[in-house]
Amino acid sequence: MLALPLRAAPLVVPADHALQFAEQQLTATVSEVNDPTRFPRSTLSDGSWRIEDSGAWTSGFFPGCLWLMFQRTSGSTWRTWASSWTAQMEGEKNDTSSHDVGFKIFCSFGNGYRLTFDPAYRDVVIAGARSLATRYSPIVGCTRSWNNRHFPVIIDNIMNLEILFWAARHGGDPAWYDMAVSHALKTRQNHVRADGSTYHLVDYDPNTGAVLGKETVQGYSTESTWARGQAWAVYGFTMTYRETGDARFLDTARQVADYFIDHLPTDHVPYWDFEAPNIPNEKKDSSAAAIAASGLLELSTLVTDGASRTRYREAAFQVLESLCSPAYLAEGTTSSGILLHGVGNKPANTEVDVSLIYGDYYFIEALLRYVTLATDVAPALEGYLLEPPLPNPFDSGMHVGFQVPRACHVEVSIVDVRGAGIRTLARGEYSPGRYGVTWNGARRDGTPAPSGTYFCVFRAGSFHQTRKIRLIR
């Protein structure tokens, strides 16, 4: 299937202005917090940051914001600040008390490694993934989110599969990949409703894996749809498809994205719950909008038909345009944050109508993705053989097909489970078209690679997709 060529993206989002404002707010936050052992979480009534220590689930987002600013500017000051706050969270790699170790470590150390290739950062990410993996039950087929109830799994947890996927191909245990796939399949089965909406929490029997109950903690009611939970699902299933190429995850990503888009109010920013009882007199949650916008932008690069690509991209543009407007951008207000109008936990009446550090983090990520998309390419891998069937034996080679919608730099490489390069299949400037390369199971020097797990990594611009390969000789 050949995708329609992309039309040039209309630059409708004032991303540069919003990113400049983000730089300004984060610089001021560094001065306000002034201590890398303290982590901003949400704003208080006077607009200043409520601070927590590194144990909070939100701690990784501030260093994550600083890393994203380093990505944008290459400025050494951003790198220094990001490194300082990141270093102070290292102890969190050993946190086995909840799934949040993924948020904490991947947003801080994960971004640090992505942008600096410092091997010490990689080791911390692997340790964090190892901690998360201790929460995996082969009976339930999921990592456990919290320690109450029987075996609760919240929709948010799908976000933390990314650290397992990543670590499995950078020197961690390749079994973490299978755990992540299993968790995502269970989440698809039990959290996602037929109409594409989601439950917040599914409680499993740890002895049998049976579903004991479904409920919400941060949403309005069991059968309603908590907006941020839906946003986590949009982002998380999209990421899971990027990491696996399993079409079931693309189907689910589309389903939850369609629900999100189709239930947005006219300003494209959701209420804190899609079925909150007093809509339109309910609070909006800008964090849900930011998370979903980032996920939708990635989804638009993974679908292969032009109409879907346009739908998801333009939905994301509309959300971002609204978030960049004076209605949501904190410019000219007393807030130390970047986005106004986030909701942490409405039922508990905490962090209602405030700036949230994770809303700011995904907003910046979405803006950077937007800028890249508007000026870069949206590639798609296709024709790739996935398990099952395994792309083996290797006598005739394994074919990797990809398409390039706009002229760009492309790299297709095979890496081992330590992340070390085994073979580069393609590298260079590609003009628009459809291409295929073959891996015959050999290393760079022509000698045969041994049986084992490998990953094919496809990069174009800042976008990438990976596929697991099992080579059996």
One character per residue 218-237, x = contact with ligand GLY (rule: CB under 6 A): x---------x---------
Alpha carbons within 13 angstroms on the beta-carbon side of residue 344 total 17
CB 472 within 8 A of CB 457: no
Q: Which is nearer to ligand GLY, 143 or 301 (CB)?
A: 143
Residue nearest to ligand GLY (CB): 156
228 belongs to an annotated ligand binding site: yes
Q: Which is nearer to ligand GLY, 276 or 377 (CB)?
A: 276
One character per residue 44-63, x = contact with ligand GLY (rule: CB under 6 A): -------------x------
Helix (H) or strand (E) holding 241: helix 227-244
CB 302 within 8 A of CB 256: no
Q: Which is nearer to ligand GLY, 57 or 312 (CB)?
A: 57
Q: Which residue carries 């939100």 as its tokens?
A: 58
205 belongs to an annotated ligand binding site: no
Distance of CA 47 to the CA centre of its chain: 28
99 near ligand GLY (CB under 6 A): no
Size of the site for ligand GLY (CB under 6 A): 4
Nearest-Å Rg of the Cα atoms of the chain is 21
Q: Which is nearer to ligand GLY, 38 or 99 (CB)?
A: 99
Q: Which is nearer to ligand GLY, 60 or 391 (CB)?
A: 60
CB 71 within 8 A of CB 115: yes
Question: Nearest distance from residue 4's CB to ligand GLY, in Å?
Answer: 36
156 near ligand GLY (CB under 6 A): yes
Nearest in space to 61 (alpha carbons), one of 11, 117, 106:
106
* Helix-strand-coil split of the chain, %, nearest 5: 40, 20, 35
Q: Residue 2: is it exposed, middle or buried by C-beta count within 10 angstroms (0-12/13-18/19+)?
A: exposed
Q: Which is nearer to ligand GLY, 63 or 229 (CB)?
A: 229
Question: Nearest distance from residue 179's CB to ligand GLY, in Å?
Answer: 20
Q: Is 62 strand, coil or helix?
A: helix
Residue 20 Rama label (left phi>0; alpha psi -120 to 50; beta): alpha
Residues 6+ apart with CB under 8 A from 427: 410, 411, 412, 413
Question: Nearest distance from residue 343's CB to ligand GLY, in Å?
Answer: 9
Question: Nearest distance from residue 448's CB to ligand GLY, in Å?
Answer: 45
E strand map for 258-335: none
161-220 binders of ligand GLY (CB under 6 A): 218
Question: Nearest distance from residue 57's CB to ligand GLY, in Å?
Answer: 6
360 near ligand GLY (CB under 6 A): no
Which amino acids are annotated catalytic?
100, 156
333-352 binders of ligand GLY (CB under 6 A): none
216 belongs to an annotated ligand binding site: yes
49 belongs to an annotated ligand binding site: no
Question: Nearest distance from residue 54's CB to ligand GLY, in Å?
Answer: 16
232 belongs to an annotated ligand binding site: yes
Q: Which residue carries 């990635």 as its tokens?
A: 298
Q: Residue 461: is it exposed, middle or buried by C-beta count within 10 angstroms (0-12/13-18/19+)?
A: middle
Whole-angstrom Cα distance, residue 5 to residue 7? 6
User: Which residues make up the interface to ligand GLY (CB under 6 A)?
Assistant: 57, 156, 218, 228
Binding annotation for substrate: 100, 156, 216, 228, 232
Q: Which residues define the annotated binding site?
A: 100, 156, 216, 228, 232
